[in-house]
């Protein structure tokens, strides 16, 4: 039977999604702050991959041709962004910075510029310690161990923007706020604080979404960029039909392909179904007109659409089991996936390059050498640490200073994988079938690669001659006739060494707390005195003013000595921020 049942929503969580503003451009700005006020674009090949907001104000945009950009904005400053290692380094540094605020270590990175953090435990703790009778003068605890670590804030309001924009609390302003609303409110203040620290300490601004799932936090953040944060307000589940359900209201006018998890293939199938005709794509349209958009609402409300039907429509060889049900959940704004635990080492490191033409063995050898060298360098960078950075029972007591520090592998990859992408042969009619399929082959990674005293060139040389050539022959037994458009080299199957744990469980926790303390030390509020009688500057107002580009977070919010009240100006909308016990009980 075509049931449209859904799982109960898991709205006990508070998840924050961070997205750094124009990340590549910000990396250059962070190194050279003078660039911040100038139009700045980052170039890869002949295009601008990203540009700062000053450049956008002057009409530049992502994926624009360099020539075009220079015509529109002759004084644009162009930085080369083809070497991505500075971006990778900055990403890692910022990730570690944000991670230091986490207690449960559920901090997951997506690409270089996005992070999810599950702050449920921190929020829950603060929910318990809060004085409900003096919300305006609240103190947010950033550490369980140190009650002085934290910041003061006004818990009677939510920080930042809300969805819907004209949100009004449906309950009685004189009563106690319901727990769901309160958790989100606490999450919003934590988000604002971390954003503030990111900007002050690291020089990066970001855009943030706050909600109860990865899906919703990521999507809702898009509403106010750059330098903004948005919280998806309750009610999140149905009470009296769908009209007052903000999840449905929010997700409904997204194009299906914009939903994370619904990628190219799935949205193609869903679109074809809804439009009632087979795919009519790729008619030589390089930069072609976008296919007609299909909205989430249109699909979900279609009489034939239900989990079983979606399963039939979308399931195929290799597709995840229960895909129909999962997509149905996404169309209803439901996503129960957990924020991943922070990992000490990546599960894979890969290097690849693409080629116009690669069809002779000597060329292949040269490329394999190049890739192997890069790969080994990456392994050293990501998998090797100073000995005294690694916690080990015996060692931590014997190691003295960092001057004697030796290097140690955090993990030994067990497998090396070689992948190629053959350029498909010409068809009889002379056209070339577009294919991006890859061939791959794996083999044990030889132990010699872990020698830290041998120079990288010789290691790469041995790897190519003793392993990679044989693997290449497996993929391409013919002497010639092939033509590769891509070669990829990867190491996988990481075996972590002692002293490094995958998760934050067990004895690694002390390591994590140490890191948190390192970060907190610099901006701990030592002698907190509540403001006389108004509140701290209202984060609400600071955000809502938001003219856009030049708006920045008031840096006085969290510092001492600034509590002399400038009185209560304009508390517009205050009543709407209070809530009652009646109405909504989320759990």
Partner DNA sequence: CTGGGATAG
Partner DNA sequence: ATTTCTATCCCAG
Q: Which residues bind DNA (CB under 7 A)?
A: 49, 62-63, 84, 110-114, 259-266, 281-282, 316-321, 340, 343, 346-354, 374, 378, 415, 417, 419, 434, 436-444, 485-486, 488, 490, 492-493
Q: What's the chain's Rg over C-alpha atoms? A: 27
CB of 437 to DNA, least distance (A): 4
Q: Which CB atom, from 292 or from 566, has the smaller least distance to DNA?
A: 292
130 vs 486 by CB, closer to DNA: 486
Structure tokens at 120: 């449920």
The CB-of-533 to DNA minimum distance in angstroms stands at 45
Residue 75 and residue 70: Cα distance in Å, rounded?
Answer: 7
Distance, in Å, from the CA atom of 205 to the CA atom of 485, rounded to the nearest integer, reads: 38
**Nearest-approach distance from CB 99 to DNA, in angstroms:** 15
- When the beta carbons of 159 and 330 are compared against DNA, the nearer one is 330
309 Rama sector, left if φ>0, alpha if ψ -120 to 50, beta otherwise: alpha
CB of 316 to DNA, least distance (A): 7
To which H or E segment does residue 429 belong? none
Question: CB of 320: closest distance to DNA in angstroms?
Answer: 4
Q: Which is nearer to DNA, 165 or 473 (CB)?
A: 473
Q: Which is nearer to DNA, 183 or 423 (CB)?
A: 423
SS3 301: coil
Please report how close the Cβ of residue 373 comes to DNA at its closest, in angstroms: 12
Which residues pair with residue 412 across a beta bridge?
A: 495
- Taking alpha carbons only, the member of 503, 517, 468 closest to residue 488 is 468
Least Å distance, CB 358 to DNA, is 11
Spatial CA neighbour of 339 closest among 98, 120, 517:
120
Q: How far apart are the first and last CA of the chain?
A: 30
Least Å distance, CB 432 to DNA, is 13
CB of 492 to DNA, least distance (A): 7
* Alpha carbon distances (Å) from 34 to 53, 57, 203, 227, 304: 14, 17, 12, 19, 57
CB 223 within 8 A of CB 207: no
DSSP 36: G
**Closer to DNA by Cβ: residue 173 or 444:** 444
Q: Tell me which residue of 46, 181, 133, 65 sits closest to 581, measured CA to CA.
A: 181
- Pairwise CA distance, residues 233 & 158, whole Å: 10
CA 374 to chain centre: 25
Please state the closest distance from residue 110 (CB atom) to DNA, in A: 5
- Minimum distance, C-beta of residue 260 to DNA, in the bound complex (Å): 4
CA gap 140, 130 in Å, rounded: 8
Nearest residue (CB) to DNA, 94 versus 525 = 94
The nearer residue to DNA, 321 or 521, going by C-beta atoms, is 321
Q: Which residues of 369-389 are buried (b: 16+ CB within 10 A; e: fewer)?
A: bbbbbbbbebbeeebebebbe
Our CB check for DNA shows the closer of 277 and 321 to be 321
Task: Give whichever of 375 and 539 is closer to DNA, judged by the CB atom.
Answer: 375
Q: Please state the closest distance from residue 557 (CB atom) to DNA, in A.
A: 29
User: Token pair 């998806």 is at which residue?
Assistant: 232
Task: Pick the closest to residue 156 from 534, 542, 524 (CA basis).
Answer: 534
What are phi and psi for residue 412, nearest 5 degrees? -110, 110
Q: Which is nearer to DNA, 347 or 565 (CB)?
A: 347
- Closest to DNA by CB, 65 or 168: 65
Phi and psi torsions of 96, nearest 5°: -65, -35
Contact at 8 Å (CB) between 353 and 490?
no
| Beta pairing, strands 64-65 & 47-51 | antiparallel
d(CA 345, CA 343): 6
Tokens of 377: 């360098």
Between residues 148 and 440, which has the closer beta carbon with respect to DNA? 440
Give the alpha-carbon dihedral of 260, 263, 266, 271, to 10 degrees. Answer: 90
Encode 507-523: b = buried (16+ Cβ within 10 Å), e = exposed.
ebeebbbeebeebbeeb
CB of 226 to DNA, least distance (A): 14
* Closest CB to DNA among residues 207, 419: 419
| Strand, coil or helix: 545 | helix
Q: How far is the CB of 528 from DNA (least distance, A)?
A: 38
Contact 175/145 with Cβ under 8 angstroms? no
Adjacent-strand bridge partners of 442: 417
**Closest separation in Å from C-beta 494 to DNA:** 9
Residue 36 vs 218, nearer CB to DNA:
218
- Establish how many alpha carbons lie within 13 A of residue 281's alpha carbon, considering only the half-sphere containing its beta carbon: 14
């Amino acid at each position: 039977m075509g049931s449209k049942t859904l799982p109960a929503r898991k709205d006990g969580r508070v998840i924050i999604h961070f997205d750094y503003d124009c990340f590549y451009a910000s990396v250059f700005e962070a190194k050279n702050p003078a660039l911040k006020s100038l139009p700045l674009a980052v170039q890869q090949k002949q295009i601008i991959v990203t540009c700062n907001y000053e450049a956008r104000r002057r009409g530049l945009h992502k994926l624009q041709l360099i020539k075009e950009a220079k015509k529109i904005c002759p004084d644009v400053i162009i930085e080369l962004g083809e070497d991505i290692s500075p971006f990778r380094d900055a990403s890692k540094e910022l990730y570690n910075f944000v991670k230091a605020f986490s207690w449960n270590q559920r901090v997951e990175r997506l690409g270089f510029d996005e992070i999810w953090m599950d702050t449920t435990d921190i929020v829950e703790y603060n929910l318990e310690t809060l004085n409900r009778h003096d919300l305006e003068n609240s103190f947010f605890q950033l550490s369980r161990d140190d009650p002085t670590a934290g910041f003061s804030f006004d818990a009677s309001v939510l920080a930042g923007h809300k969805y819907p924009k004209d949100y009004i609390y449906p309950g009685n302003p004189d009563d106690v706020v319901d727990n769901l609303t309160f958790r989100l409110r606490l999450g919003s203040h934590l988000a604002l604080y971390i954003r503030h620290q990111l900007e002050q300490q690291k020089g990066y601004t970001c855009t943030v979404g706050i909600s109860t799932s990865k899906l919703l936090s990521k999507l809702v953040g898009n509403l106010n960029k750059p330098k903004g944060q948005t919280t998806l307000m309750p009610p999140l589940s149905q009470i009296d039909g769908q009209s007052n359900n903000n999840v449905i209201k929010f997700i409904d006018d997204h194009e299906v392909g914009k939903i994370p998890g619904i990628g190219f293939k799935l949205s193609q199938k869903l679109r074809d179904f809804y439009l009632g005709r087979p795919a009519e794509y790729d008619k030589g349209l390089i930069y072609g007109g976008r296919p007609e958009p299909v909205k989430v609402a249109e699909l979900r409300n279609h009489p034939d659409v239900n989990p079983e039907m979606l399963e039939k429509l979308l399931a195929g060889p290799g597709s995840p089991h229960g895909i129909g049900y999962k997509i149905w959940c996404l169309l209803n704004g439901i996503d129960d996936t957990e924020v991943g635990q922070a990992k000490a080492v990546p599960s894979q490191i890969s290097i690849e390059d693409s080629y116009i033409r690669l069809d002779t063995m000597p060329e292949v050898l040269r490329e394999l050498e190049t890739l192997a060298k890069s790969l080994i360098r990456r392994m050293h960078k990501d998998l090797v640490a100073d000995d005294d950075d690694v916690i080990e029972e015996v060692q931590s007591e014997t190691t003295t200073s960092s001057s004697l520090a030796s290097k140690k592998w955090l993990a030994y990859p067990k497998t090396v994988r070689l992948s190629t992408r053959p350029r498909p042969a010409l068809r009889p009619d002379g056209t070339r079938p577009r294919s991006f399929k890859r061939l791959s082959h794996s083999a044990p990674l030889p132990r010699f690669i872990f020698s830290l005293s041998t120079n990288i060139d010789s290691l790469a040389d041995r790897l190519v001659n003793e392993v990679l050539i044989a693997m290449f022959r497996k993929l391409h037994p013919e002497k010639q006739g092939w033509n590769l458009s891509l070669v990829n080299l990867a190491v996988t199957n990481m075996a972590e060494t002692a002293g490094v744990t995958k998760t934050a469980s067990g004895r690694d926790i002390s390591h994590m707390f140490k890191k948190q303390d390192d970060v907190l030390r610099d901006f701990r509020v030592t002698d907190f005195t509540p403001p006389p009688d108004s509140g701290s500057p209202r984060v609400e107002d600071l955000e809502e003013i938001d003219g856009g580009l030049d708006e920045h977070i008031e840096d006085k919010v969290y510092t001492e000595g600034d509590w002399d009240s400038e009185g209560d100006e304009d508390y517009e909308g205050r009543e709407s921020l209070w809530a009652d016990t009646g109405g909504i009980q989320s759990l």
